[in-house]
Structure 1
Amino acid sequence: MSSLAANIRAAFPALQQSGDQVPFIYFDGPGGTQMAKQAIEGMLAYITGGMANLHGAFPTSVGTDNLLLEGRKAVADLLHCAPEEVAFGQNMTTLAFSIARSLGSFISSGDEVVVTEMDHRANVDPWVTLAKDKGAQVRFIELNPDTYTLNLDRLDELITEKTKLVAVGMSSNVTGTVTDVRRVIARAKEVNAIVVVDAVHAVPHLPIDFQELGCDILFCSAYKFFGPHIGIAVIAASLFEKLQVYKLAPAPQQIPDKLETGTQNHEAIAGLIGAITFIEQLGEGHTRRERLVSGMQRIEEHEQQLTDRLESFLRQMPGLKLYRAAEGTNKTPTFAFTLSGIKARDVTSWFAEHYHMCIADGHFYASTMADKLGVNPMGGWIRIGLAPYNTMEEVVLFEKGLKEFMATH
């Protein structure tokens, strides 16, 4: 095990073996990573140190006010945006539906909304619902079923003067394909369309620069990058100020508070800060932003070593179909495959029982892509997602397990 892997694993209590208990091997990162101890400690500190709601004169309330401010600043450094552009919510899906409802005044009958065939439905259905409510048409950027990438060659035809909103995922939570979202954003901006980027799967693996991207809305979720279950929306201030959100009359009118209906999950925000601290501590630099970018680059380098080994193995395995773009296409360390004639759940159940491996199966809410690629009759894909706490030893053990499974089934 490399020194970096050992250092990273030490930060995750769930990975520590207790007594005679056989430890789990977590290959389910795309569905949610394990939580770093910095996140756990942050949550415990808030819970045990005295909790309170906002805007009071007493110390615990002032502390909670400061906690939210620090949470926004931490996210701003992670994603390179302004703190006042950061809003918290239950999860991406809930935030997306709330924002979609707030965008109602921007969409009219006869307008067009563009989504993709690759995305998780959380970045499809909120905008499709909005379009249906307003009488707008929905157009899809198509998936190339041979390359597992989006067909961006027809952007000029798909995104037109009628287009008011474009939603695209930065990286597929199934195939790992990293889409050239800058190309999509550039075309959308030529026609003054609002651009929504789903970065939920990308943030755990890639440095993100909201300002450089130039999109209007970006989503991510802390439980995908070593923190608790909380959703994050970054909304460009120029758009955020114009949103007519559904809120209680006395609630704040200013951004970002106006989107955060009701009391937020304060302890989760404390955990989010801890998760960002974990990434920061892996890096170097004079500012938190520099350390976070450096930390993400170290994560990328470690994950790439495991990716190269695992991808080579999967591509050579007889009877296995790997749904992964070719060399030259940027991808996250996420692998989806099927085994000929075998249900996906039979595979993942066997690995859980015999190798204590957490491997997921299903359509993973990328249901349009699942339909198009015809995997649903087999129960969807088998998906292995690598996280920075995974090791080469775990990858080698999976290879052994898969050979054993194939030899006995």
Structure 2
Amino acid sequence: MALDVVRVRRDFPALALNVAHFDGPGGSLVPRQVADAVAGTLVGGLANRGSVTAGERRADAVVTGARAAVADLLDCPPECVVFARSMTQATYDMARALARQWRAGDEVVVTRLDHDANIRPWVSAAASAGATVRWAEFDPATGALPVDAVAAVLSPRTRLVAVTAASNLLGTRPDVAAIAEAAHAVGAAVYVDGVHLTPHAAVSLPALGADYYACSPYKFFGPHHGLLAAPRPGLLEQVRPDKLRPSTDAIPERFELGTLPYELLAGTTAAVDFVADLGGAGGPSRRDRITASMRQVEAHEEALFAGLLDGLAAIRGVTVHPAPAPRTPTALFSVAGHSPQAVYEHLGALGVNAPAGSFYAIEAAERLGLGAAGAVRAGIAPYNDAADVDRLLAGVRELAR
């Protein structure tokens, strides 16, 4: 069954503004179901979580419902889902907590392919513990991060490997499962940045081999906050974060500082339900529907993306920066004689949103020789259609001429 993109597009009010959105890698559009859930929760009568008043019970149901939804999305136990202000904050908090277990001479591995939110927290934590940072390099000619590149910097002193599941700059999808196997063989934990993968594939934490997986609901149609998940409770039980004296020591709550944003969690549940229903197919469970929907999403995005890549390749003066298969539907490109910002502004004036920059993947942009200016990024989302692709290509052709 093919994704019914006409039906999908009806659920996104922003598309009525007649803009072609290729800015999904920075934050997807939000469907009306998510906006309704957020608004309904805000005005529905809430209190701090508890079991006495109706407001307390509603708040508790919102939190437990969101944990269950994310658990279905990522194939993990609900008690292993931690909510945070952002993926960056979740990663900094976990890095500081894990670093208490490190000693001088220990090693942490990061990659040049990653977003800085999965690099700088570990670099800072290593410095505070006297640990050494070792860098895994990706191939700038192909955009690939081979397993061997990570394995080459592992040692018996490696305590953690931080790696992206998909590059937000190039779309490269490293073989995380193989990297995790190599890391676990030397006794290291694996922290995976799943922000850019989660909107494009059915994710299973056990299949990835991730010990910790962080992502952002606003990249898969939800509100602006972050989350961290683990495949089993024992991993979180071993970590002792900073917390207030009267707050609970139970997981996952001991990782969550202060009152949770209930309305955003309700929106996240609605976003997961939206993903589950994208394909329009039934199933015995929400997890089954998510998996079936994401198969349709991948097929739809791959078809559009192939047309986008072919169209860009046919325009003289356009350079598409490489990424190997498998990849997310993310094209990073430059236009000769025009700065990335100028291309961005030209397309924006035509109602095509394809932003420019390094997108916080500064190490990757520098390794590619692009610097902080980066290049133009166009990402495909489930609500994109062939007309969107045609508009982007027409705008690039016009500028290139």
Q: TM-score, normalised by structure 2?
A: 0.96
Question: 2:209 & 2:303 partners in 1: Cα distance?
Answer: 31
Identity %: 37
Question: 2:129 & 2:250 partners in 1: Cα distance?
Answer: 26
**2:375 is matched by which residue type in structure 1?**
W
Q: 1:303 aligns with which of 288, 301, 310?
A: 301
1:342 matched to 2:350 = no
**1:180 is matched by which residue type in structure 2?**
D
**1:210 is matched by which residue type in structure 2?**
L
CA gap of 1:265–1:321, structure 2 versus 1, over 3 A, is same
TM-superposed CA distance for 1:156, in Å, is 3.6
Question: 1:155 & 1:92 partners in 2: Cα distance?
Answer: 23
1:100 matched to 2:90 = no
Q: 2:44 aligns with which of 23, 46, 49?
A: 49
Q: 2:24 aligns with which of 26, 29, 47?
A: 29
TM-superposed CA distance for 1:51, in Å, is 2.4
SS at match of 1:197: strand
SS at match of 1:376: coil
The residue number in structure 2 matching 1:75 is 70
The residue number in structure 2 matching 1:20 is none
Question: 1:374 & 1:188 partners in 2: Cα distance?
Answer: 29
Unaligned runs of 5+ in 2: none
TM-superposed CA distance for 1:154, in Å, is 4.0
Question: 2:3 & 2:300 partners in 1: Cα distance?
Answer: 11
1:253 matched to 2:249 = yes
SS at match of 1:335: strand
TM-superposed CA distance for 1:105, in Å, is 2.5
Q: TM-score, normalised by structure 1?
A: 0.95
**1:282 is matched by which residue type in structure 2?**
L
1:381 matched to 2:370 = no
1:321 matched to 2:319 = yes
Count of aligned positions: 397
**1:287 is matched by which residue type in structure 2?**
S
Contact 1:176/1:324 (<8 A) preserved: no
1:397 matched to 2:387 = no
1:281 matched to 2:273 = no
The residue number in structure 1 matching 2:117 is 122
The residue number in structure 1 matching 2:146 is 151
Question: 2:114 & 2:200 partners in 1: Cα distance?
Answer: 17
Question: 1:170 & 1:250 partners in 2: Cα distance?
Answer: 37
The residue number in structure 2 matching 1:269 is 265
Contact 2:176/2:209 (<8 A) preserved: no
**1:108 is matched by which residue type in structure 2?**
R
Counterparts of 1:216-235 in structure 2, within 5 Å, are: 216-235=211-230
Q: 1:91 aligns with which of 86, 90, 107?
A: 86
Contact 2:316/2:400 (<8 A) preserved: no
Question: 1:398 & 1:375 partners in 2: Cα distance?
Answer: 22
Question: 1:93 & 1:3 partners in 2: Cα distance?
Answer: 32
Contact 1:141/1:152 (<8 A) preserved: no
The residue number in structure 1 matching 2:174 is 179
Contact 1:141/1:151 (<8 A) preserved: no
SS at match of 1:348: helix
The residue number in structure 2 matching 1:6 is 6
**1:140 is matched by which residue type in structure 2?**
W
The residue number in structure 2 matching 1:238 is 234
SS at match of 2:300: helix
TM-superposed CA distance for 1:287, in Å, is 0.8
RMSD: 1.3
Contact 2:315/2:400 (<8 A) preserved: no
**2:135 is matched by which residue type in structure 1?**
F
Counterparts of 1:204-223 in structure 2, within 5 Å, are: 204-223=199-218
Contact 1:197/1:217 (<8 A) preserved: yes
